[in-house]
């Protein structure tokens, strides 16, 4: 009996939610027009990339900062880990990973380049690169990471540093991340390249630093 | 045809989400979570947002799935030791 009443209440709540959804009016501000109107000055021809890196560039700047901070927190919580040997997977798996990794790198570069005029961009490219790293680690071809050395540290921070430098230089002209229209394309590509490298290392690091604990995966 | 596909996709999304939450076995829940992520990718593609679909496939299904499986492996080893 009690179960039935709970189910009835849940169903009533679902009905209420669906009713509320149907009641929703059109969005108060329609931004599709302004976005399309200023696309020529944004330096890219894909609306999503234009919004992410030009109109609302500071959102993306803060996103990469948050990801970097998350990785730093993990490193701080992990402390000093001893190196552990990686277990080699079956040769067939290793060969497959060897074949897949170069393809994934090519796909990542394509996604980065394609971001300017079709779906793609730094986050997707970085995620594919990170997946390649995780794949190579899982089959035992690259070891897990313990303490990041200088080169890795530079790579982890590069995207944020490049983005912040561009933002600071542009700030001197008056507004945060307001690219001059003739340089916008180049600046966005520069920022996205840095972002791709850092995102790949940060996302792969989330896995490769953590799997170092308890003798690797 | 596309309507049937969309309905099937929505139903399988809800079903896999429900199974992920209710299945008593942890390993099965993780595999179901990865399947849910891949179905979600299809849903984003159907909503003509391939950007989010790509990110979902790589981060949601791929990296998170690998992390969860790794954590499960550690848990199982710990249980075997004790």
Helix/strand/coil (H/E/C) assignment for every residue in chain A: CHHHHHHHHHHHHHHHHHHHHHHCCCCCCCCHHHHHHCHHHHCCCCHHHHHHHHHCHHHHHHHHHHHHHHHHHHHHHHCCCCCCCCCCCCHHHHHHHHHHHHHHHHHHHHHHHHCCCCCCCHHHHHHHHHHHHHHHHHCCCCCCCCCCCHHHHHHHHHHHHHHHHHHHHHHCCCCCCCCCCCCHHHHHHHHHHHHHHHHHHHHHHHHHHHCCCCCCC
- Determine the distance in angstroms separating the CA of A172 from the nearest CA of chain B, rounded to an integer: 33
Burial of B60 (0-12, 13-18, 19+ CB in 10 A): buried
Q: Over range B23-51, report the average pLDDT.
A: 91
The answer to whether B62 faces chain A, any CB pair under 8 Å, is yes
Q: Which of B37, B44, B46, B51 is the best substitution to test chain A (most A C-beta atoms within 10 A)?
A: B51
The answer to whether B51 faces chain A, any CB pair under 8 Å, is yes
pLDDT-wise least confident of A37-41, B11-15, B24-28, B52-56: A37-41
Q: Is residue A84 part of a domain?
A: yes
Answer yes or no: is pLDDT of A215 > 60.
Answer: no
Neighbours of B26 (CB within 10 A): 13
Query: Which residues does chain A have within 8 Å of residue B79's beta carbon, measured at their own beta carbons?
Result: none
Instruction: Identify the band that residue A90 occupies on the pLDDT scale cut at 50, 70 and 90.
Output: confident
Compare B26 and A39 and report the one with higher pLDDT: B26
Compare A47 and A197 and report the one with higher pLDDT: A197
Answer yes or no: is pLDDT of A16 > 70.
Answer: yes
Residue of B nearest to A137 (CA): B66
Answer yes or no: is pLDDT of A216 > 60.
Answer: no
Answer yes or no: is pLDDT of B49 > 60.
Answer: yes
pTM given for the model: 0.81
> What's the pLDDT at A81?
63
Q: Is residue A64 part of a domain?
A: yes
Nearest by CB: B63 against A119, A121, A130: A130
Q: Is residue A85 part of a domain?
A: yes
State the ipTM, two decimals: 0.78
* CA quadruple A59, A200, A137, B71: dihedral, nearest 10: 0
- DSSP H stretches of helix in chain B: 2-22, 26-46, 50-55, 64-81
Domains held by chain A: number: 1
Q: Over range B30-37, report the average pLDDT.
A: 93
Compare A44 and A69 and report the one with higher pLDDT: A69
Residue of B nearest to A135 (CA): B66
CB contact under 8 A, A127 and B62: yes
Q: Which residues of A50-86 are buried (b: 16+ CB within 10 A; e: fewer)?
A: bbbbbbebeebbebbeebbeebeeebeeeeebeebeb
pLDDT-wise least confident of A5-9, A124-128, A209-213, B47-51: A209-213
Q: Over range A187-196, report the average pLDDT.
A: 90
The single residue listed with the structure tokens 């170069």 is: A102
Instruction: Identify the band that residue B18 occupies on the pLDDT scale cut at 50, 70 and 90.
Output: very high
Q: How many CB pairs under 8 A join A and B?
A: 48
Across chain B, what does the average pLDDT equal?
Answer: 89
Answer yes or no: is pLDDT of A80 > 90.
Answer: no
Q: Is residue A203 part of a domain?
A: yes
C-alpha to C-alpha distance for A135 and B73, rounded to whole angstroms: 16
- Determine the distance in angstroms separating the CA of B54 from the nearest CA of chain A, rounded to an integer: 6
C-alpha to C-alpha distance for A217 and A85, rounded to whole angstroms: 10
Compare A193 and A86 and report the one with higher pLDDT: A193
Domains held by chain B: number: 1
> What's the pLDDT at A217?
41
Across chain A, what does the average pLDDT equal?
Answer: 85
Domain that holds residue A183: 38-210
> What's the pLDDT at A82?
62
> What's the pLDDT at A12?
96
> What's the pLDDT at B12?
95
Domain that holds residue B32: 2-81
């Amino acid at each position: 009996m009690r179960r039935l009443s709970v189910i009835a209440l849940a169903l009533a709540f679902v009905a209420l939610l669906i009713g509320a959804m149907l009641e929703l009016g059109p969005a108060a501000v329609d931004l599709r027009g302004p976005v399309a109107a200023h696309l020529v000055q944004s330096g890219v021809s894909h609306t999503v990339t234009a919004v992410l890196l030009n109109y609302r560039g500071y959102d993306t700047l803060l996103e990469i900062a948050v990801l970097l901070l998350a990785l730093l927190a993990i490193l701080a919580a992990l402390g000093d880990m001893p190196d552990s040997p990686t277990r080699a997977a079956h040769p067939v798996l290793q060969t497959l990973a060897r074949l897949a990794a170069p393809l994934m790198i090519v796909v990542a570069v394509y996604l980065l380049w394609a971001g300017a005029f079709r779906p793609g961009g730094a986050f997707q490219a970085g995620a594919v690169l990170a997946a390649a790293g995780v794949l190579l680690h899982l089959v035992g071809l690259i070891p897990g990471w313990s303490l990041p050395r200088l080169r890795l540290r530079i790579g982890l921070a590069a995207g944020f540093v490049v983005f912040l430098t561009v933002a600071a230089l542009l700030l001197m002209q008056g507004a945060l991340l307001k690219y001059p229209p003739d340089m916008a394309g180049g600046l966005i590509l520069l920022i996205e390249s840095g972002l791709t490298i850092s995102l790949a290392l940060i996302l792969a690091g989330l896995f490769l630093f953590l799997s170092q604990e308890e003798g690797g995966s | 045809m596309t309507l049937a596909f969309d309905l099937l996709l929505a139903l399988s999304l809800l079903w896999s989400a429900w199974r992920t939450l209710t299945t008593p076995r942890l390993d099965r829940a993780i595999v179901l979570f990865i399947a849910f992520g891949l179905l979600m990718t299809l849903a984003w593609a159907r909503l003509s947002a391939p950007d989010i679909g790509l990110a979902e496939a790589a981060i949601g299904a791929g990296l998170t799935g690998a992390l969860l499986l790794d954590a499960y492996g550690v848990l199982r080893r710990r249980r075997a030791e004790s």
